[in-house]
């Protein structure tokens, strides 16, 4: 099927590439000519495992191409997927100007029936507003349908999530676009859930909020474990075996971050408020998340007493492993918190250094964890990269001024670290 994607960010690029991989004929559009030029030249603007291969393969096979013209995208795609940014406004609500602009542009370019599919994460009732906008700006009265089709891909395994989804949600206002949406997703072999359009939009915010809620629940439990000398890992393992609960997203740490959870939870609170509902549960989820980082910094301060002048090695800057994304990363917040107390930071991240350099000032960026550990009064593990589990910690101990280790992601074995001579502190155990 001929498909177009408007916006080549994480969501748009991965979606377009995976559609092509499943045999569809895809045009990806972006209004940034430099990005389009990069993609046309074989470059990939983001780090996402597996993406480069898929893009290269499908461009070569003629199933995937890039354009900076929405008109070209609208001409090409029977279904036009909108995957443009919906960033947060300062008050937590969602900035809708890019979605609205694309709706107008699509309206202006449409000459025959099109299905306009919203993939961006948007407030409930956006689809209806997009439909009104297209109707208003398409003077020729061309027929169209608006569909909501939220994405559920995690950075770092976005390709895998997109190729093997748990479910596909399709929100519609009429049955007309349903067969085409079934054709788009037929090759993905996943349950297709057809809902009304408002429900589809809510499913996205409800899913991400629930996952964040699980993390905050584990983090709140970790505080209780610390006060009661219990072990959070054992507690959540025991809880997670209950199939009704599940073990996933119950890892305590220094909190959730990234471009989705913080933004989506703020947005959902703001959306609820606009609808006259006070979503206090989610406000508490946010509060616990912020507290978790403060509690961790307090732990570091209590151990080192005065932080001023201390050299701290930070392992991990990305908001989670297998990505170079440092947006709303708890690791970055942690560095800022430590810098406010005049520590000297030596940092290392397997992928996130380049992007971290744009945000962090006065940090010594190191080529590997061993270099970062040199002369450190303490190490803080802030992102759960696999690489950090298998380092030579005996060697690292020898490089440090003092063998003090704060494990913000419970990645290492407390008994082993203590046996090596470290003062080792983690979360909730």
List residues near ligand UDX by CB under 6 A: 151-155, 208, 211, 215, 249-251, 253, 256-258, 260-261, 319-320
Q: Clarify whether 260 is annotated catalytic.
A: yes
For ligand UDX, give the closer residue by CB, 82 or 304.
Answer: 82
For ligand UDX, give the closer residue by CB, 127 or 258.
Answer: 258
State the minimum distance, in angstroms, from the CB of residue 87 to ligand UDX. 14
State the minimum distance, in angstroms, from the CB of residue 241 to ligand UDX. 16
For ligand UDX, give the closer residue by CB, 258 or 403.
Answer: 258
Say if residues 117 and 81 touch (Cβ distance below 8 Å): yes
State the minimum distance, in angstroms, from the CB of residue 301 to ligand UDX. 22
For ligand UDX, give the closer residue by CB, 140 or 248.
Answer: 248
State the minimum distance, in angstroms, from the CB of residue 62 to ligand UDX. 30
State the minimum distance, in angstroms, from the CB of residue 128 to ligand UDX. 22
Q: What token pair was written down for 250? A: 């119950």
Catalytic annotation, pick one of 18, 260, 277, 366 = 260
Q: How far is CA 40 from CA 23, 37, 74, in A?
A: 20, 5, 19
State the minimum distance, in angstroms, from the CB of residue 208 to ligand UDX. 5
State the minimum distance, in angstroms, from the CB of residue 362 to ligand UDX. 24
For ligand UDX, give the closer residue by CB, 253 or 350.
Answer: 253
| N-to-C CA span, the chain | 53
State the minimum distance, in angstroms, from the CB of residue 236 to ligand UDX. 9
* Sign for the pseudo-dihedral over CA of 156, 160, 161, 163: positive
For ligand UDX, give the closer residue by CB, 40 or 389.
Answer: 389
Which three-class secondary structure string do you get for the chain? CEEEEECCCHHHHHHHHHHHHCCCEEEEECCCHHHHHHHHCCCCCCCCCCHHHHHHHHHHCCCEEEECCHHHHHHHCCEEEECCCCCECCCCCECCHHHHHHHHHHHHHCCCCEEEEECCCCCCCHHHHHHHHHHHHCCCCCCEEEEECCCCCCCCCHHHHHHCCCCEEEEECCCCCHHHHHHHHHHHCCCEEEEEHHHHHHHHHHHHHHHHHHHHHHHHHHHHHHHHCCCHHHHHHHHHCCCCCCCCCCCCCCCCCCCCHHHHHHHHHHHHHHCCCCCHHHHHHHHHHHHHHHHHHHHHHHHHCCCCCCEEEEECCCCCCCCCCCCCCHHHHHHHHHHHCCCEEEEECCCCHHHHHHHCCCEEECCCHHHHHCCCCEEEECCCCHHHHHCCHHHHHHHCCCCEEEECCCCCCHHHHHHCCCEEECCCC
For ligand UDX, give the closer residue by CB, 109 or 212.
Answer: 212
Rg (alpha carbons) of the chain, rounded to whole number: 23
For ligand UDX, give the closer residue by CB, 27 or 86.
Answer: 86
User: How far is it, in rounded angstroms, from Cα 261 to Cα 382?
Assistant: 18
Catalytic residue list = 260
């Amino acid at each position: 099927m001929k498909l177009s994607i408007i916006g080549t960010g994480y969501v748009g690029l991965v979606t377009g590439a995976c559609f092509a991989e499943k045999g569809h004929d895809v045009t990806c559009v972006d209004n940034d000519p430099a990005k389009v030029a990069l993609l046309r030249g074989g470059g990939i603007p983001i780090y996402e495992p597996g993406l480069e291969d898929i893009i290269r393969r499908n461009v070569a096979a003629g199933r995937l191409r890039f354009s900076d013209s929405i008109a070209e995208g609208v001409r090409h795609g029977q279904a036009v997927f909108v995957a443009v940014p919906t960033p947060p406004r300062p008050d937590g609500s969602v900035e809708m100007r890019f979605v609205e602009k694309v709706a107008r542009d699509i309206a202006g370019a449409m000459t025959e029936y099109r299905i306009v599919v919203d993939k961006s994460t948007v407030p409930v009732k956006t689809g209806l507003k997009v439909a009104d906008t297209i109707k208003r700006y398409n003077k020729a009265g061309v027929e169209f349908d608006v569909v909501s089709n939220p994405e559920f891909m995690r950075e770092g395994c976005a390709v895998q999530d997109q190729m093997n989804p748990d479910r596909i949600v399709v929100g519609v206002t009429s049955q007309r676009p349903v067969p085409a949406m079934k054709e788009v997703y037929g090759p993905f072999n996943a349950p297709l859930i057809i809902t009304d359009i408002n429900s589809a939009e809510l499913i996205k915010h409800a899913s991400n909020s629930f996952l964040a809620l699980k993390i905050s629940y584990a983090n709140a439990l970790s505080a209780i474990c610390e006060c009661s000398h219990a072990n959070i890992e054992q507690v959540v393992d025991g809880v997670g075996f209950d199939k009704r609960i599940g073990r996933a997203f119950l890892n305590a740490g220094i909190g959730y971050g990234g471009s989705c959870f913080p933004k989506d939870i703020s947005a959902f609170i703001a959306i609820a408020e606009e609808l006259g509902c006070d979503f206090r549960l989610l406000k508490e989820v946010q509060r616990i998340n912020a507290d978790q980082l403060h509690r961790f910094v307090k732990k570091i301060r209590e151990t080192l007493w005065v932080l001023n002048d201390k050299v701290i090695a930070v392992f991990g800057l990305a908001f989670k492993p297998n990505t170079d994304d440092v947006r709303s990363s708890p690791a970055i917040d942690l560095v800022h918190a430590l810098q406010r107390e005049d520590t000297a930071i030596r940092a290392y991240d397997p992928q996130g250094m380049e992007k971290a350099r744009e945000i962090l000032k006065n940090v010594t960026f190191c080529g590997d964890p061993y270099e970062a550990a040199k002369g450190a009064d303490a190490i803080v593990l802030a992102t759960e990269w696999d690489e950090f589990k298998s380092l030579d910690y005996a060697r690292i101990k020898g490089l440090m001024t003092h063998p003090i280790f704060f494990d913000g992601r419970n990645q290492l074995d407390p008994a082993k670290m203590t046996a090596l001579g470290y003062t080792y502190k983690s979360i909730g155990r």
